[in-house]
Amino acid sequence: MPPSPFSRPRRHLLQCAVGAAALPFLPRHAAALDVPDEPKLHHQDYAALRQHFRTRLVQKGPAPDKFEPLTPPAGAERIFYRSGRDGELTLTAWLSPYKRKAERMPAVLFLHGGNAMGAGHWHPLKAYIDAGYIVMMPSMRGENGQNGNFSGFYDEVDDVLAAADRLVHLPGVDRERIFLAGHSVGGVLAMLASMSSHRFRASVPISGNPNAFRFFSRYPEDIRFDDQDKREFEVRSALCYAGSFKAPTLLLHGTEETHFEDGTALLLKRASSLPITVTANTIQGNHTSAIPGAVDASIAFFKQVAA
């Protein structure tokens, strides 16, 4: 079995994947990124914004992380879904095998951490399967040697929504009980996707940064867009469109991830007037050790919402 992607910090993975040869891909102004104390709050609906805003990529190419082949791990099978503006991308997803039942089954779309999908991302999801959920984990454009240009939290949201559409149309899936969760990079995408569509019954972003300004100041090598246009950061920040959540949402992070506390508090404050509930909690552990507990907490939340 290959080592789990959860066993090493993402910074190490990025350094292995990027290296000195990739430095020309860094926008020249990335090192001077201006991080506002409090990102602007926009009152426009995020889903409506996505209908007309197009990110401007100044560098086009694959996702930055080192990757392994997309051979499905034990307990998963490989399926495909189409994404892209005209459905031009055929992307891989892993699906838990299941037998179709008379009563339709609930499903979880889980978004992996990092910018490449690996077997280690799949193993903690067994708890969903044991709890009676069909599980689908999609890869994104430009990941694992696939086609498409990595954009860093924007065009990938289209992939998430396309994967959800594929999941909804699988035989035996209850389209009224499609749940969304994700960890780290996947947690960010889960926030943005849950603001982009009414498809999901509930969402649980895990250890996702709602502030793209801060994320990219830490990982400037992930910037492929025009970093002189602050809108490019705002459309990747859940904080900037916090009034757009369309499903009950539980934000989770590890007790040792104190750097998420202020962003989470501000997000909750900005979402407090919504008719749906946006709450937060902590799980004992750090960025990786908290994952099993977060999966268990998400199951409890999904059952509570669907009761």
Express each pLDDT in 100-138 by its tens digit: 888 999 999 999 999 999 999 999 999 999 999 999 999
Tokens standing for residue 76: 């998963």
Buried b (16+ CB within 10 A) or exposed e, 214-234: bbbbebbbbbbbebeeebbbb
Strands 173-183 and 249-254, by their bridges, are unpaired
Length, in residues, of the chain: 307
Q: Minimum mean pLDDT among 28-37, 139-148, 173-182, 290-299: which range?
A: 28-37
Which of 130, 72, 74, 132 is CA-nearest to residue 292?
130
Tell me what percent of the residues of the chain surpass a pLDDT of 70.
90
**Which residues are bridge partners to 78 per DSSP?**
94
| Contact residues for 86 (Cβ-Cβ < 8 A; gap 6+) | none
DSSP3 helix / strand / coil % (the chain, rounded to 5): 35, 20, 45
- Amino acid, res. 22: A
Strand 249-254 relative to strand 202-206, pairing? parallel
DSSP-assigned beta bridge partners for residue 90:
82
pLDDT in tens, 179-197: 999 999 999 999 999 999 9
Determine the number of helices (DSSP H) and then strands (DSSP E) in the chain. Answer: 10, 8
pLDDT score for 86? 87
CA distance 38 to 277: 23
pLDDT of amino acid 295 = 98
Are 151 and 80 spatial neighbours (Cβ–Cβ below 8 Å)?
Answer: no
What is the per-residue pLDDT for 270? 98
Distance CA 29, CA 61 (A): 19
- pLDDT for residue 85: 86
* pLDDT at residue 265 greater than cutoff 50: yes
Exposed / middle / buried, residue 125 (Cβ in 10 Å: 0-12, 13-18, 19+): buried
- pTM of this structure: 0.90
Beta bridge partners of 77: 95
Place of tokens 């937060």: 280
**Tokens 């990938």, located at residue:** 156
User: For the stretch 34-62, what's the b/e string if a residue is b when 16 or more beta carbons lie within 10 angstroms of its beta carbon?
Assistant: eeeeebeebeeebeebbeeeebebeeeeb
Q: What is the pLDDT of residue 33?
A: 74
Supply 39's token pair. 């990102």
d(CA 27, CA 154): 17
Tell me: pLDDT of 12 over 70.
no
What average pLDDT does this structure show over 23-50?
76
Query: In 3-state terms, what secondary structure has residue 90?
Result: strand
**How does the average pLDDT of the chain come out, rounded?**
91
Q: How high is the pLDDT of residue 200?
A: 98
Contacts of 166 (CB under 8 A, 6+ apart): 79, 81, 82, 93, 136
Report the share of the chain in percent with pLDDT over 90: 87
- DSSP letter assigned to residue 103: S
Q: Give the pLDDT mean for 239-244.
A: 98
* The CATH number of domain 35-306, selected from 1.10.3720.10, 3.40.605.10, 3.40.50.1820, 3.40.50.300: 3.40.50.1820
